[in-house]
Amino acid sequence: MEHLMQPNEILSLSRPTSVHVQEEDINIFIDESEQMDIIPAIGAELYLDLLANLDDKKYAMLLDGGYYEGLKGEKKIFKGLKTSLAYFVYARLVKNDGKILGQSGFLSHNDEYGSKIEDKQKYATYNDAMNVAKRYLSDVLEYLKLTRTDFDKKARVRNNGTRILAIGD
C-alpha cells in the first residue's frame, strides 16, 4: 500500500465532504500530510512498519483509536492515527478550495450551484481543522509513549509555523 489510508476513508473520517472531490486531489493531500505531519511525529521507522503491516492486529488500536489505561490507571480515549490524518487532509482540501494552476494562471472554478465563502471563513475552518488534527495526533503520541518502549518520549506534534489569518472583511 502506498499510503496509510484510501481517499474514501478520508471522506468518512473527517468532516462532511462532497463525494465529488477528485480522488487524485485527495491522494496528493494524503501524501503531503503524511510527509509533513505524520512521519515527523511518529518517525519514519514506525511509519514504514505501519505501511507494510496495515492489516496486522497489533496496529489496529494505533490506527483506529480506542480505550487504554494511563500511567495512573485513568481511562484514556483517542481517535487514532487515521482520524488525525483525515483531518490534516481535510484542512488542506479546505485551504486549496478547488484552485488549480492552468495555462492562464491560478484558477478557481465557480458554478451556478455553489457560492464561494469568504476567505476569512475559509481560513477559520482551515485553522479549526488543523487544530483538531494536531490534537488527535498529540493523543496518538501520548498513546505511543505509554505503549511502546522504543518510542521517543520527547516526541511532540510539530507546528509548521504556518498560520493564516484573514485580514479585513
The one-digit pLDDT tens for each residue of the chain (169 residues) are 699 999 999 989 998 887 778 899 899 999 999 999 999 999 999 999 999 999 999 999 999 999 999 889 999 999 999 999 999 999 999 988 766 555 555 555 555 555 566 778 888 999 999 999 999 999 999 999 999 888 877 788 876 555 555 566 5
Nearest to 92 by CA among 137, 34, 5, 138: 34
Question: CB-side exposure of 53: number of CA atoms within 13 Å?
Answer: 12
Question: CB-side exposure of 120: number of CA atoms within 13 Å?
Answer: 3
Check: CB of residue 82 under 8 Å from CB of residue 100: no
DSSP-assigned states of every residue in 124-148: HHHHHHHHHHHHHHHHHHHHHHHH-
Domain ranges of the chain: 7-147
